[in-house]
């Protein structure tokens, strides 16, 4: 995948997170965005099935394969998916 496409996908996902989307487990757009971010960062997940808001731009994503990731913006403004 080209760097341009990956960059656009991350920006779209960040825009959704920054916009304060609802974090209910049935919020399909948020779950899809988190799935895309985790996949673009190269972490195994499959599909995000649940998400919990931990703070501004900070979420706990639970994947269908059982992996859990904290997805957040670091101090440099980059998206990080940290395995929990």
Long-range pairs of 38-41 with CB within 8 A, sequence gap ≥ 24: 38/63, 38/69, 38/71, 38/81, 40/1, 40/6, 40/9, 40/10, 41/79, 41/80, 41/81
pLDDT at residue 21, rounded to an integer: 43
Q: Which domain holds residue 62?
A: 3-83
pLDDT tens per residue across span 31-46: 999 999 999 999 999 9
- The pLDDT of residue 4 is above 90: no
Domain count along the chain: 1
pLDDT at residue 27, rounded to an integer: 82
């Amino acid at each position: 995948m080209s760097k341009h496409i990956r960059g656009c996908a991350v920006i779209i996902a960040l825009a959704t997170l920054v916009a304060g989307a609802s974090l209910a487990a049935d919020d399909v757009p948020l779950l899809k965005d988190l799935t895309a971010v985790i996949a673009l960062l190269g972490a195994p997940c499959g599909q995000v099935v649940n998400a919990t808001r931990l703070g501004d731009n900070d979420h706990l994503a639970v994947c269908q394969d059982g992996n859990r990731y904290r997805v957040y913006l670091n101090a440099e403004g980059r998206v990080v998916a940290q395995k929990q």
